Every structure is written in C-alpha cells, then in structure tokens.
Structure 1
Amino acid sequence: MLKTLLLASLLFTGAPDKTDLKTPYEKGNGNQTATYEEAINWYKSFDKAYDEVKMVPYGYTDSGRLLHLVIVSTDKDFDPASIKTKNKRVLLIQNGIHPGEPEGIDATMMLARDYLQDKNKRKQLDNVVLAIIPVYNIGGALNRNSHTRTNQNGPETYGFRGNARNLDLNRDYIKTDSRNAKLFHLIFRDWDPDVFMDNHTSNGADYQHVMTLIATQHNKLNPTLAKYLTGKMVPTLYKGMQQAKFPMVPYMNTIAETPDKGIEGFMESPRYATGYTALYNTIGFVPETHMLKPFDQRVQATYKLMENMIETVHRDADEIGRLRAQAKKETLQQQDFHLNWKLDTTKVDKIPFLGYAAKYKTSEVSGTERLYYDRKAPYSKNINYYNSFNPTTTVQKPVAYIIPYAWHEVIDRLKTNKVEMQQLIRDTTVTVDTYYITDYKTSPRAYEGHYIHSDIKVEKRSMARQFLKGDYVVYLNQEANRFLVETLEPQAIDSYFAWNFFDSILMQKEYFSSYVFEDLAADILKQNPELREQLEARKKAEPEFAKNGRAQLDFVYRNSPHYEPTHNMYPVGRLMQNVKLPL
C-alpha cells in the first residue's frame, strides 16, 4: 500500500523557488493560522521544491478529505523498512488533532523548511527522519470559527475540537471509531517511530510559562526506556527550553483549584495518543502551550521545543535505537503486564514554578466569590509534583488468545494494528481460561459515542470450549503483545470490553415462566441435596430472599443446566498451555 501511495505522490510536479516558501503564518500578522487547504498546498510546494521531501496521501478521513504524511529524509530514502536498516531514528510529529489548538500546524511548516535550508540544522537530519502529519483532524480544521476556544488568546480563527463525526480524536486511539484513527494506525505501524510528538494547547490555570509538557508516564513505559526518558531526555529538553527563554514545566494537572497546591502527572491510558504509542515502546510527548499567551509566543515555543527534540534525538540516536530494541525484546519476553494504575501520594518531588497569585473577589455575574489570577503579583517558588503511580491490576499473559470469528469489530481493529493472527482450519475443543464478568459500572451518559464500562470485576474459570473453523488464534510472541493484553483483558481501563464491543454477552437470552419451572425446580432440588442445602442456608441468612419465591426459583435456575452458560461469559479464550492447534 505504501509504495502505491508513494507513486501517487509523484503526481506533484514542478519546482518552485526554494526561497519562496513563506508559510501562511509568516505572511500574516502573527495571530493567524493556516487553514487545512493552505497547509496542504504549502506542503505540496515544499514537496516540489525539495527532493528530500515526499508527501504521501494515506487515505480518506471522516471528512472525506485525504490524510497526508510528509516525510523529510535527507538521503531521499522514503521507505520505512530501508530507513530502519540504516539505523536512523524516526520522529513522528502530529498536528491539529484539536484544530482549535493549531500552533503546531504553523510551527512545523517553518521547522521542516528551516532544517533543509540551514546547513547546521540539516546535519542533524543525517540520522533523523521527520514524519509529519500536517493536520490530523481535518473535519475539525474545516469547521472554523472564532469562539469555541472560549478561554484562548488567538489566533483570529481556528478549527473545532470534534472531527466530522464530532469525535474527540484524542480519545479514539484504542476504540478506533474514526477513519482518522485507522489511518493513524497504518502510519504508526508502517513507520514505527522512535519518538512521537502531538502538539496541543492547554486549558486551566494561569501562570507565567508559555510551554508545559506531558511525557509518557514513566511507570507504565518499559523500564529500559523510562530510565533514559526521565534521567536524560526530559532534563535535556528542559535545559534547552530554559536556554531558549521558554522555561518549561510539567502539564498543570492540578490536585486542587490552583497549581500552587501541587500538580500530578498525567496517566495517559491507551485511548490517548501517547498512551497508545507507549504500547509499542515509542517515547511520546504532548506539548501543551498556555492558552492565554499570545499566539505568536505559542508558535515560537512549539518551534523551539521541536528544535530541541530533533537535537536530542540526533545526539542520542544510537542510544535510543539500542534502548528501543532492548525494550522490544523485553516486551516479547514479559510475562506479567500492569493494566490499571493509582497515584502514589507518598512520593513527591519539588519543581520550580512561575505562577501568578491566586486571589478571590465578588463575581459581577453571580455575586458569589470567584477565582482570578493577579498578573501584577507574579511569583517563583517550588511546588509539589506527584508523578509516581502503582499498578492496581496485573495479569499474566496467555500463550495465545482465541477470538471467535463472530467478533469482527475486534478482529478488524487488530488487523488495522497489523497484529499477527492465524485461523483454525477445523472445529476443535481446547481447554482455556475463560472470564465471566461478575460486576462493572457503566457511565450514565454517552462518552465519545460509548457508554463506557469501568471497575470491571471478573471470575476466571478453566474449561474445555469448542472453537470453530475460522476462529482467530493470536499468539503473544509478537511486537503487539502489550497492545493485545491491554485491549483483550476486560479489566483494563481501555479494553475492548470497556468500550462496549462485547456488550451483547451481558444480556440473558433465555429464561423461564415461574408456573412451569416450579415443578422442574422441585425435581432439581430433590436430585441435588447440596443445592437444597445452599438454598436453605441463603434463606436463613437473607430474610428478604426467604420471602421472595421468584428469587428462589431464579437461584435454582442459575444453578441448573437450564441456565445459559454464555451469559456474562467473555468470549475471548486465554490459551495457557502451548498445545498444538489445527491452524
């Protein structure tokens, strides 16, 4: 597919003057951002001007417009497999996932051009290839306005957070409801980036910093990569931004109303961009510029952070490559996987913070007390930073998952992620661990098109089950191991069960009429004295149950062969022994 797309990109012909590549932002007044059409047209010109640039259309998004990937490769090699053999690092930069936060769109155009035009910068691309998604949420970018980012200082017009289906694409990486996310998975699995950046603008408190940063949460990143990330890469970025006069601070995920009370790390689950990329041992970052700073400052800060990122990846290219290879090997061998996490409030760091005094006054709207930040009262002090999380759910990976053919929505998503799968060539019975869903909570209101489940409880049973010809067998000896565990273990926060893809198992399909079942239930109890003892014990322990004849019939029914065994049975089997299967 990629070769076909590369050939299609050759249709761009001509060679404009390389000096005539001013971006729409540069031609404006410092408070304007490129539209989707302007950005794509600029990159087409960039592609024409430089043989080191290739613009690849990956496919159509929910908006009906093409999603493009722009590759900057100084040796003119645009084949990801070939690039990997040359021990080059791939930096994937994504812009416009929230098109109302557009500074990355403008900064990246200038950055890519400058790195080809400046000899000193260009040298840093000797071992780094840039892969750029110019505008990810095209539908949102086309929906331009000047009001929906209520708290934001510019630009004059911008796009909308929701895509063409009103989905927040930064909640769609695992559930993959959008065509955008499917295309991202193709890009991501084609290019296997070493480092990923997803440019954003923040909401929340007021403070002096222009740039804040979310780095992949270190506790859930592979330990080999986490040590490098926290010990070397992040400190380098902070030092570089300090020298660029954009002192940086972690994303202001406050534990109270104001940041001076302290902040906590952002535990990005796989529904988010960097939560998803971490599943494949890619180091991820979400830059968040401050919404109240002028747009030109936000563009400059984003540019400087990306510049520092390229310098860092160039400097540490060999180390990053070696550590990622080690992390991938460790993931293949890993037996226990942590699924859910809880903040450890006993571990705290002190970080420097440049804030404004939080004060209160009477609201002119409600007459009640309201918060405001006094910019005439800036301060500099250390604040608490809680950035350690402990696992709350851990599972042992199976040898393989067996997924019945019927669950095509799940199978399709695994295929999109290039998961290696085989199919049974005949019906077979095999002993597997099977989960029964014993309890869960469901959101009372729709969340991104789903009524998502949480706090999921399971009971595990080992049983012989029949699987049919065509059912899928997915062995956990592949690069997608962690992705598979976090999507197919129902307890995980962003599992496919949590996202409602298995909801039909939760509804009982058969039942009984009381007047008919009365005589049958009596016979069942006569033939099963132990069940009679359990019934009588429960009646003694629960007075309300003792008064409820229907509830007692239900108790007998659920403990009889008449109760359907598939009710609440999670259909994905966990093969725990490496037995030979007909594949």
Structure 2
Amino acid sequence: MFANVIMLSTVLSVNGHLPPLMPWQGKSLQLIQNSGPLTTDFELSGGEVSPSYEDTIKFVDRLIAANPTQFASIDIGQSNAGRNIKMIVASESGQFSANMIKSNGKPTILIQAGIHSGEIDGKDAGFMLLRDIATGKRRDILTKVNILFIPILNVDGHERRSKFNRINQRGPVEMGFRTNGNNLNLNRDYTKLDTPEVMSVINVINEFKPDLYVDVHVTDGADYQYDVTYGFTPSFASESPKIAKILEDKFQPHIHKTLTDSEHVPGPLVFVMDKREFKSGLAGWIAGPRFSNGWGDLATVPTILVENHSLKPYKQRVLGTYVFLDGAIDALSIHYQTLKSAVVAEQTTPSELVLDRKYSQEPDFIKFKGIKYKKFNSALSGQTEVKYLGEAEYYENLPIFWRKEIVNKVKVPTAFYLPPAYSQIVNKLTLQGIVVEKVSDTSPVSALKRADVENFEFDKMPFEGRFRVKANFSYQDIEVKPLNGWYRVATDQARGKLATHLLHPEAPDSFFAWGDFNTIFQRTEYVENYALVPYARSMLKDNPKLALEFDKKLREDKVFESDPKARLNWLYSKTPFYDAGYLKYPVLFQYKIEQKK
C-alpha cells in the first residue's frame, strides 16, 4: 500500500505540468483483471506501469506455458545490443509455422508494439488480450483469426527507461526511448533498412504474409477529446486505392463503433498546422514509404497506424488499444475475402507513379472534437503560447489540409538494371520482397536511359545516420548494350510500385536520396595541367564545334571566363579521359519502345 502511494505521488509530480484532464469512466475498465492467473504488471499497478524487457520476456514465457496448444514464441531477430526480439504466434490449430498459418483458412493479423518504445501501449494491451484468450475468456478470437504479436520491437530503446523520456505524455511511470540503441528511428527505416529491428519485421511480413498489419504508437501535439486516433493512406492519395477504400468503408466504421460502444473516443489521425493556433486547421498526413503505413501502401500490405493520444492517462490508452484490436480482429474476420481480393488486384504497377506531394492551398472541412484553449504571452519563450483548459470544444467546420497537390509524377520503367558492383542494393531489394534476376543473356538490351545528375545538394546535418541528397537529373538515351552479369528488376511484379520508389532517384525515399549512391559524387582520377593544356588545344583544333561551344561559354559566362580552374575542368570533362561514372546514376532504366502510328 505504501509503495502504491509513493508511485502515485511520483506520477502526479511528473505529470503536474500537463493540461487538466476531462473525466473518463469507460466500459472498457471492466477488462481489467486485478488478480488471478496471468494478471499483467500493468493491471497490478492500477494501470500505471509497463514492465521491463526482462519482465516482459518472463510474462511471454508464462503466457506460452498457460496455453502451449495455441501459443508459441519465436525470436524474429536480435538487436545490435544482443537482445532477442520476440514474437508470439497464436493459432487455434496449434500449428505455428508460416506455411501452416498461411494455409489454415483464417486471416492473419500482425500487431506490432514498441517501434517507438516510449509509446508502449500496444504491449500491455496485447498481453491483456492474449491473456483473455489463454484463460478462455475470449475463446472466440482464435476462431476468427491467427495472431502475430510483437510486444517490443525496439528492445534496446525499451531499456533506456526513465520517468523523464517523454515530457508531453501521461505514463507509464517509466517508459522507453524513441530511438534504438544506435539512435535510429525505426519508423523511418522501412526503405533504407539500416536496422535489424525493421529488417526482422519485413522478414516476418514476407514469410507469414499477414492480411492486416497494425502498428501501435502514441501521438504528440495538441490536446483534443479523442483518446484513440488511427489512420492509413486515404484512397485519394493511395497507390493501392482498392485496399484503402475497404479500410475506409468497411474497417473504419466497424472499429469506430467498437470503440464508441466501450466509451472510448475514436478520431482521425491528424496533426495541427499551427500548434499555437488550433483553429488555423489540421494537417492530413500522407506517409511516405520510410514509415510503416506508407511502406504498406506501396507494398500492398493493408496497414493501420494507431496513434493513441499522449495526454490521456496510460490506463485509458491501453484499454482503448485493447478495444481497437478487438474491433480490428472482428472487422478482419468479416471482410477478409474482400480485402484479400483487393490486395491481389493492387499487385500491379501503373504506367505512372506519384513520387511526392505537398499540402493543398485550399482546405477541406471536418467536424472535430477539440479542447478549449487560451493564448497568453510567455515571458519565457517571448512569444504567444497556448494553454489547454480541459473542457470540450466542438468544431463544426475545422479546416484540414491534405497533401493532395502532386509535386512529382514519373513514368514507370518496364525494368531497372543494376551493375554487379551494387550487390548490397540487390540484397535490400530481395529483403523487401522484390524479385531480382541476374542477367545471363549476352544479347544487347535496347531502349535504355541513364540519369545524369545536373546539380545536387547534400543536407547540412545527418538525418537517421545518413547525409541525404537532393538532385536534378537529365536523362540520356544509352546505346544498345549487353548487360550480362547485371541485375534486372522488372516493375511488372507484386511489389513493382515499391521497387520504383526505391530505385527511381527522384523519389524522396529512394536509395539514392538516402545516400546509397554517394560515391558517384566523387572523382578519383585527376589531371595535370601540363598534360591537359596541350591535349585540349589539339582537341579544340580537331573539333570546331566544340571550339565554338567553348568560345561561346567564355563570352556569355564572365565568372567562367575569369576562373582558370573552371575553364580547365570544362575542357577536361570533354576529353575521353574524364571519369565516365562521375555524376552518373549507375542504375539504368528500360522503357517500352513506343510504336509509331
């Protein structure tokens, strides 16, 4: 009793800076078990504590021991610090291999918790749900679906536990850290695949082929009434719109009703355009492929991102997650065949693909359950700040700005060709579930293009351990040539859309943008002026057209005219001695030959 009093006072002192709460007493409180077999640490603490990695693994072992005929635990990977990443497999049939799971006639849901390990609601909710299955309270669930449950993905970040990791989040008392042990954000790694944690998840998805992927987070940002917000790529911006429409029209109403019936407040996954003026509107987020749900959209893996509201109490958030998962499982069991048909239909690649979007200038309008706030001038920040008051405010027409405006759309090649030296890219493509073929035919390949970098700019600071790069390109026709020993990636395959985003250098989350081809920006052969000057003089004499081009550049570009180094470098670039790979994207594009009418 004394320990509980100390713990409660600690929670109050840590959370005393947060906005006041609206009262909540939902029906889902009945889900809590206060004693008995497999009562979780979360429940024993009154909804305030989430267990350590060590205690989590012990609970997994107890859970498996309680129902070994329907539960199994497997290690799907290992962190850089050597911690095993556990996944629980739950199946009514008691057969747990990927082949058995895929062939037992039930849909499979993959539930992932702790990708940001401070946002650990999904772990404790998932344990309660599995406990209720194991003890017979919810025998119905495994008659509907198979469950894959990763309680902690970011196992190293999970153990960087502290009461002070997230200043704007109510509980648990101690929580993990956002990034992994190498300070990388796992939910920025779905394209570049730098982390063993995300590589493990991709392996699970490719092996078990889940029908629904749920990634559980906790949001930051403004205060509002919703306790469980969630979303997916909306159909108007989706590259798999048939899947998105089913999530919108079938899953969302079902999940919303399940949450509402348990007296939770489900809401849309949105952010605030101006955190100091809520009324200015919301930002409708469209995730890129570096994120789990953006990757899922391109890979035709139906994916829902859950963002529980950080200012709601931990108990309320965990219970809301339990109810959300219950609703998602039920919706999947009902709409499984329709969703599966949509997945098959979307495993084709269009002739054009949108690579980037920006926010529209004109908003849409939605009804929104907000929280009253007042603005005040802060002597500390020297600007206007916001104080939320803990009282409901309803917006009938709140602006919402979606990323509807297309910034860049490209024609999709029929195939990409990678040189043999880039086998590390081939390995990542293969891990992504993309089919790569090694070319053994010595016949020349036609209709090839190469992307030449015209100008480029590197980020000033590293992002996710990489110096990202942006560039503009010109595209050159390449002579017919044999590509024996190269790697061919056809875009007419199930993950052709994802392959295009990874290999087209203009895509914001391409391997190029992440810096996997940065060696093309360096020249490693050099020239001495005593050799270049006589060679260039002879070259210009033998090539009058080039000589005229040089004279014109001297006349029209005074900076060039006055810069000896620039003049000689230009001349060097016109010689056959110049590095043919400098600023040349090494991946070639093949397009269909247009038939002349």
Q: Is this a same-fold pair by TM over 0.5?
A: yes
1:188, distance to aligned residue in structure 2 (A)? 1.2
Cα distance change of structure 1 residues 140 and 289 upon mapping to structure 2, 3 Å threshold: same
The residue number in structure 2 matching 1:10 is none
Distance 1:195 1:483 in 2: 18
| 2:158 paired with 1:130 | no
Contact 2:445 2:483 in 1 (8 A): no
| Amino acid corresponding to residue 95 of structure 2 in structure 1 | D
Of 457, 464, 469, the residue aligned with 1:441 is: 457
User: Residue 324 of structure 1 corresponds to which residue in structure 2?
Assistant: 343
The alignment covers a number of residue pairs equal to: 555
Query: Cα deviations across residues 534-583 of structure 1 (Å, max 9, x unaligned)?
Result: 222223322232333432332232233232221111111223369xxxxx
The partner residue of 2:281 within 262, 268, 287 is 262
Distance of aligned partners of 1:447 and 1:465 in 2 relative to their CA distance in 1, 3 Å threshold: farther
Taking the aligned partners of 2:507 and 2:381, their CA distance within structure 1 comes to 42
Match of 1:534 among 541, 549, 553: 549
Mapped to 2, the partners of 1:284 and 1:126 lie a distance apart of: 22
Q: 1:216 is matched with which residue?
A: 233
Rate the CA distance shift 1:38–1:221 in 2: closer, same or farther, 3 A.
Answer: farther
Q: CA separation of 1:364/1:388 partners in 2, compared to 1, >3 Å: closer, same or farther?
A: closer
- Answering whether residue 80 of structure 2 is matched by residue 44 of structure 1, we say no
Report deviation, 1:504: 0.3
Q: Which residue of 2 aligns with 1:298?
A: 317
After TM superposition, give the deviation of residue 376 of structure 1 in Å: 4.6
Question: Quick check: 1:473 aligned with 2:488?
Answer: yes
1:124 to partner: Cα distance:
4.4
Taking a change above 3 Å as real, the CA distance of residues 418 and 284 of structure 1, as seen in their structure-2 partners, is closer
Q: Report the residue type matching 2:273 in the other structure.
A: I
Q: What is residue 97 of structure 2 aligned with on the other side?
A: 79
Deviation at 1:528, TM superposition (A): 1.4
Secondary structure, counterpart of 2:39 in structure 1:
coil
Contact 1:205–1:252 (8 Å) recurs in 2 = no
Question: Secondary structure of the residue that 1:393 maps to in structure 2?
Answer: strand
CA distance in 1, matches of 2:93, 2:223: 44
Q: What SS class does the counterpart of residue 58 from structure 1 fall into? A: strand
> Which of 404, 410, 424 is equivalent to 1:409?
424
Distance 2:491 2:559 in 1: 48
Partner of 1:7: none
Separation of aligned partners in 2, 1:315 and 1:420: 32
Q: Flag the 1:86–1:396 CA change in 2: closer, same or farther, 3 A.
A: farther
Q: Does 1:309 align with 2:328?
A: yes
1:427 deviates by: 6.8
- Which of 316, 330, 346 lines up with 2:362 in the alignment? 346
Query: Which of 136, 147, 156 is the aligned partner of 2:164?
Result: 147
Q: Partners of 2:257 and 2:367 in 1: how far apart? A: 13
Q: Name the CA shift for 1:335/1:30 in 2 (closer, same or farther; >3 Å).
A: same
Distance across 1 between alignment mates of 2:457 and 2:152: 36
State the Cα distance separating 1:469 from its structure 2 match: 5.6
Distance 1:492 1:369 in 2: 38
CA distance, structure 2, for counterparts of residue 111 and residue 543 of structure 1? 73
Q: Give the secondary structure class of the aligned counterpart of 1:125.
A: helix
Retained in 2: the 8 A contact 1:154–1:294?
yes
Give the fraction of aligned pairs with identical amino acids, expressed as a percent: 27
Following superposition of structure 1 onto structure 2, how do residues 113-512 of structure 1 map, counting pairs within 5 Å?
A: 113-117=131-135, 121-218=138-235, 219-257=237-275, 258-328=277-347, 330-331=348-349, 334-346=350-362, 348=364, 350-363=365-378, 365-366=380-381, 368-376=383-391, 378-387=393-402, 389-425=404-440, 430-431=445-446, 432-454=448-470, 456-464=471-479, 470-512=485-527
Check 1:393–1:361 CA distance in 2 against 1; reply closer, same or farther (3 A cut): closer
Q: Specify every segment of 5 or more residues in structure 2 that has no aligned partner in the other structure, as ranges.
A: 1-34
* Correspondence for 2:84: 66
TM-score calculated relative to the size of structure 2: 0.87
TM-score normalised to structure 1 length: 0.89
Match of 1:560 in 2: 575
Indicate if the aligned counterparts of 1:404 and 1:467 stay in contact, CA closer than 8 A. Answer: no
Please list every run of 5 or more consecutive structure 1 residues that lacks an aligned counterpart in the other structure: 1-17, 579-583
Change (3 A) 1:118 1:347: farther
Q: Cα distance 1:128–1:150, how it changes in 2: closer, same or farther (>3 A)? A: same
CA contact 2:300–2:495 (8 Å) conserved in 1: no
Counterpart Cα distance in 2 of 1:418 and 1:310: 26
Return 78-87 or 514-523, whichever deviates more: 78-87
How far apart, in 2, do the equivalents of 1:192 and 1:493 lie? 27
Deviations 1:103-129 (A, max 9, x none): 11100111122245456x543433421
Instruction: Please state how far the C-alpha of 1:411 moved relative to its aligned partner.
Output: 1.9
The answer as to whether partners of 1:40 and 1:134 remain within 8 angstroms in 2 is no
Selected match of 1:26 from 29, 39, 43 = 43
Separation (CA, whole Å) in 2 of partners of 1:19 and 1:262: 48
Query: Aligned Cα RMSD in Å?
Result: 2.4
Change in 2 beyond 3 A, CA 1:373/1:188? same
**Matched residues in 2 for 1:25 and 1:260: separation?**
37
Give the SS at the match of 1:253: strand
Aligned residue for 1:4? none
When structure 1 is superposed on structure 2, of 99-108 and 205-214 the one drifting more is 205-214
- Change in Cα spacing, 1:459 to 1:142, as seen in structure 2 (3 Å) is same
In structure 2, how many angstroms separate the alpha carbons of the residues matched to 1:324 and 1:105? 28
Per the TM alignment, residue 251 of structure 1 is displaced from its structure 2 partner at its CA by 2.6
Cα distance, 1:429 vs. partner? 5.3
Moved more, 522-531 or 510-519: 510-519
> Given that residues 355 and 379 in structure 1 are in contact (C-alpha distance below 8 angstroms), is that contact kept between their aligned partners in structure 2?
yes
Equivalent-residue separation in structure 2 for 1:122 and 1:433 (angstroms): 58
Query: How many Å separate the matches in 2 of 1:327 and 1:470?
Result: 31
1:15 alignment partner in structure 2: none
Distance 1:378 1:397, change over 3 A: closer
Q: Distance in 2 between matches of 1:521 and 1:170?
A: 52
The alpha-carbon distance between structure 1 residues 344 and 231, as it changes in their structure 2 partners (threshold 3 A), is farther
Contact 1:211 1:290 survives alignment (8 Å): yes
- State which of 555, 558, 582 in structure 2 corresponds to 1:543: 558
**Separation of aligned partners in 2, 1:418 and 1:251:** 28
